[in-house]
Amino acid sequence: MSIIDSIKSSIFVPIHPAGTPFVILFCLITLIFGWIWYPLFFIGLVLTIWCIYFFRNPNRVIPDSGKDSFLVLAPADGKIVEISKTVPDDEIGLPKNNYIKIGIFMNVFNVHVNRSPMSGKITNKNYIPGLFFNATLDKASKENERMSLVMDFDKNKKIAFVQIAGLVARRIITEVEIGSELKMGEVFGLIRFGSRVDVYYPEEAVTKVLKGQTAIAGETVIAELKKTKIIKKSKK
């Protein structure tokens, strides 16, 4: 890739469709500002550029799982603020088994488009109304507004990922329904203006990240899980 192509790919990044109305609104406000007082035009222009930046949806290089294992990818850009072993609450929709939970916090400067951590079928979707605590806090997973999704993969094994509204974010967008098929790294929604996404995966998986690490949605491998092997019985 040439230097010019690299610059173009960094600047001319597509935005998520949910951001289009906001970009148009900011453009109109910028024009009004400029009509009222010329210096205000530049303030509006900066805000418009920030709006475009916030709703950006950059292309990602999705890794391959391989023949013997499944990869669990980060569903969001941001800082990993929690890694713990837990039995998920009933509202999540997972079996009452031990799961590893990873929480990723997105600040207002992170990409807010969410991507599927694995390939599979959505078998449960549950919206839970709630509060708007700071999403970096552990209690945000239980008390904030959130949308949980359960995905089946590899002969009915299950994972879950939960979009959680934060202190500023009050608009969760989920673009899938029960029965939807998702590919690993595929966009399934976003959360506006600062938020968090939690992932629950089977405890036998090997966690590949550390608390405090920065994750990239659709690229960072957060865990690896061995595939179920079918043992064929020999005929006597």
* Averaged pLDDT of the chain: 88
Read off the pLDDT of residues 47-99 as tens digits, 9 standing for 90 and up: 999 888 888 999 999 998 777 789 999 999 999 999 999 999 999 999 999 99
Which residue did the predictor score with more confidence, 155 or 213?
A: 213
The CB-side HSE value for 28 (13 A sphere, CA atoms) comes to: 6
Q: Which fold has domain 69-226?
A: Glucose Permease (Domain IIA) (2.70.70)
The catalytic residue among 116, 148, 180, 195 is: 195
Q: Dihedral through CA 117, CA 122, CA 123, CA 127, nearest 10?
A: 90
Read off the pLDDT of residues 5-51 as tens digits, 9 standing for 90 and up: 544 454 567 888 888 898 999 999 999 999 999 889 999 999 999 88
The pLDDT of residue 171 is above 90:
no
Residue whose entry in the numeric block shows the structure tokens 């966009």: 187
Query: Can you tell me the mean pLDDT for 189-207?
Result: 90
What would the two tokens of residue 50 be? Answer: 């920030």
Please report the pLDDT score of residue 8 as a whole number. Answer: 46
> Residue 170's pLDDT band (boundaries 50, 70, 90)?
low
Q: How far is CA 162 from CA 14, 151, 189, in A?
A: 25, 11, 11
Please report the pLDDT score of residue 7 as a whole number. Answer: 43
**Rounded (10°) angle between helices 38-54 and 20-36:** 170
What would the two tokens of residue 14 be? Answer: 């597509």
84 is annotated as an active-site residue: no
Residue whose entry in the numeric block shows the structure tokens 């990602």: 60
What would the two tokens of residue 152 be? Answer: 């089946």
Please report the pLDDT score of residue 169 as a whole number. Answer: 62
> Residue 176's pLDDT band (boundaries 50, 70, 90)?
very high
Which residue did the predictor score with more confidence, 149 or 12?
A: 149
The pLDDT of residue 231 is above 80:
no
User: Which residues sit opposite 78 in a β-bridge?
Assistant: 215
The pLDDT of residue 133 is above 70:
yes
- Under 8 Å CB-to-CB from 170, ≥6 apart: which residues? 132, 145, 192, 193
d(CA 137, CA 196): 10
Residue extents of the structural domains in the chain: 3-54, 69-226
Q: What is the pTM of this model?
A: 0.86
